[in-house]
Amino acid sequence: MNVVNNGVIDGKAVAEKVLAECVGEINSLKEQGVVPGLAVVLVGEDPASRVYVASKVRKCAELGLFSRKIELPKDATQEEVLAVVEELNADAQIHGILVQSPPPKHIDEDAIVRAIDPAKDVDGFHPENVAKLTLEDHSGFVACTPAGCMRLLQEAGVETSGAEAVVIGRSMIVGKPMALLLMSKAGNATVTVAHSRTKDLAAVCRRADIIIAAIGMAEFVTADMVKEGAAIIDVGINRVEDASANRGYRLVGDVAYDEVKDKCSVISPVPGGVGPMTIAMLISNTVKAAKQSL
C-alpha cells in the first residue's frame, strides 16, 4: 500500500493499515473469550464532540469491538461524572475508558483523568501513563495523536534517528508526549519544543529536519519557516471562514499547506492526515488494554 503520493502522506491509508493489524489481534482475543470493550463518556452537547464520539462508536462496531456510549447532560455534576468513571473502572467488559474532551467548564477535567484506572486509560493522559512514556515503559498507553504522528513518520519512511525535530506546541495532549516519543530510544531525534514565548521561532523551525505543528493557529507555519526537504506533520485543525464553501468555512491545519508543500520531502494534509490516525491509535490502545487484562 502506497501511503505517500507526491510527497503527501495519506493518513487514511496508514490508519487502515493500523486497523487491519488490530483486526487480527481482536480475532485472536475473541478466540480466548475476550471482546475488547471501549466506553466513551460525553458530557454536554458540544457538536464537534458529538461527531467525534459517533465516529469512535461506529469504528468499534465495524471492527467487532464492544462499545458503550454514555451521555450526560451539560449540567451533570463532577460527582456524577466521577461515579460513571468508577462504574466503568469496575466493569470487566470495558478495557478502555475515554471521557471526551473538552467537558463543560464546571467539570475538573484533570480530576476526571486521574480517576480513570490507568490500565483502562486508552487516551494516555493519566499521570501513571505519562510517567511510563517518560520511562519508556511500553506497558503504558501513549496519547493517541502523538502516537499516530510517529506512525505517520515511520510509514512515510522519515528517518528520525539523528534528525533535528521541532515540536511547535507544548500541550499535554500533543506537544509534550510528541517530544518524548521523538527523543526516546525508538525515535533518537534531537528535539526542540517551541511555543508562544520562543524567540525567533522562524529561525528555530528552519533548522528542523522534522516539524510537528500543534499550536492551534490556522496556517501559522509559512514557507519562510521551513527548510528544503523537511518532513512536516500538521496536527492542527482550524475552521476559517470561506464564503465559497458550502458550509461557509473550510478546515485548515497549522501549516500554510499550499505554500509549504513544495518545500517538503513529505507533509500530512488537513483533513486526511493526523485525524484518521487518532481514532486508529485509540482502537489500538483499546486492543492493547484487552490483551494486558488477560
As annotated, the active-site residues are: 56, 100, 123
Which residues lie below 8 Å from residue 219, measured CB to CB, with a gap of 6+? 238, 240, 252, 253, 254, 255, 256, 257
Q: What is the DSSP string of 152-214?
A: HHHHTT---TT-EEEEE---TTTHHHHHHHHHSTTT--EEEEE-TT-TTHHHHHHT-SEEEE-
Angle at 173 between CA 43 and CA 155, to 5 degrees: 120
Q: What is the DSSP string of 100-126?
A: PSSPPTTS-HHHHHHHS-GGG-TTS-S
- Tell me how far CA of residue 205 lies from CA of 25, 167, 173, 200, in angstroms: 40, 9, 21, 9
Instruction: Tell me if 224 sits within 8 A of 202, measured CB to CB.
Output: yes
Alpha-carbon gap, residue 273 to 211, rounded angstroms? 14
